[in-house]
Amino acid sequence: MKILVCGCSFSSGWGFDNGINDVNIWPNILANNLNAEITNLSVTGCDNTEIFLNSLTASQTQNYDKIIVQWTSLDRIIMTPLSEYYTMINNNNPHPKINNTDYRQFYKVFLELNGMQAHWNRFCKMVNILQSYNNVYFVNGLLPWNQKLFDKNTTLEDCAKDKFLSSLLQIENEWIPDLGIQAEWIPEPVWNNIKTQVQTLNLKKWINLFNSMQSLKVDQISSTDLHPGIQSHQIFANCVSEYFLDK
């Protein structure tokens, strides 16, 4: 059996001595559990668009029995500040010619402008394309959603009290009845559109819909590196292995 894995640093072996080839990372443990040949195209720091493109490209060039797509943070964006060098936009200044004060100001503005709705719309399109393939399965790496997103009875008031949904709807400063929050508009059409998009997602394709890898993490690489450690990768591998062994 041939398995392809595409994801971010939670699957690429970041922090491990042998990186992507380390026997202690979950894709390689999975390969051992299922007696499979593994191809791991995960890239540290990549965003969901790159994960999608890597998965789609590989699926069209080689035959795999299973393609496991590990999604990362919804609002992650990649930039290329230097030739042949890319990094996700975060609070670390990646360019030697930009002083730290200017970069911090840029990052502050970026956080204000980087709303979630466009990321969500793009994400749903990518998921719908990939889920049409019978051999594609999804792993929730860093998506902090919960049952409320998939519950038809969830109201705008419920969204305002939920961290993920409020960020998705960008209603942190909106007015919601009974909550006394002031704003100029109520995002009901946006919420209705999101609920429609959710209905297009094939939840049976998801190995760990709600229990993200981030939430399953029990240890880390080191005191300064928060990426999942050996015990966490064993848990990830068991989760994925059990899904396929039960099918």
DSSP track, 15-75: TSTTGGG-TTSHHHHHHHHHT-EEEE---TT--HHHHHHHHHHHHHHS--SEEEEEE--TT
Give every CB contact of residue 122 below 8 A, 6+ residues apart in sequence: 48, 49
Please report which helix (H) or strand (E) contains residue 238, including its range. Answer: helix 230-245
Task: Output the pLDDT for position 175.
Answer: 46
Instruction: Report CA-CA distances (Å) from 63 to 12, 37, 106, 194, 211.
Output: 21, 12, 44, 34, 29
Helical axes 230-245 vs 26-34, angle rounded to 10° = 40
Task: Output the pLDDT for position 94.
Answer: 86
Task: Output the pLDDT for position 220.
Answer: 97
Place of tokens 């380390």: 22
- Cα angle at 76 between 198 and 95, to 5 degrees? 170
Domains and CATH numbers, the chain: 2-77+114-245 (3.40.50.1110)
- Residue 67, classified by CB atoms within 10 Å of its CB into exposed (0-12), middle (13-18) or buried (19+), is buried
Per-residue pLDDT of the chain (247 residues; tens, 9 = 90+): 999 999 999 999 999 999 999 999 999 999 999 999 999 999 999 999 999 999 999 999 899 999 999 999 999 988 888 777 778 888 888 888 899 999 999 988 888 888 888 999 999 999 999 999 999 999 999 999 999 999 999 988 888 889 999 889 876 554 445 555 444 455 688 889 999 999 999 999 999 999 999 999 999 999 999 999 999 999 999 999 999 998 7
Task: Output the pLDDT for position 114.
Answer: 85
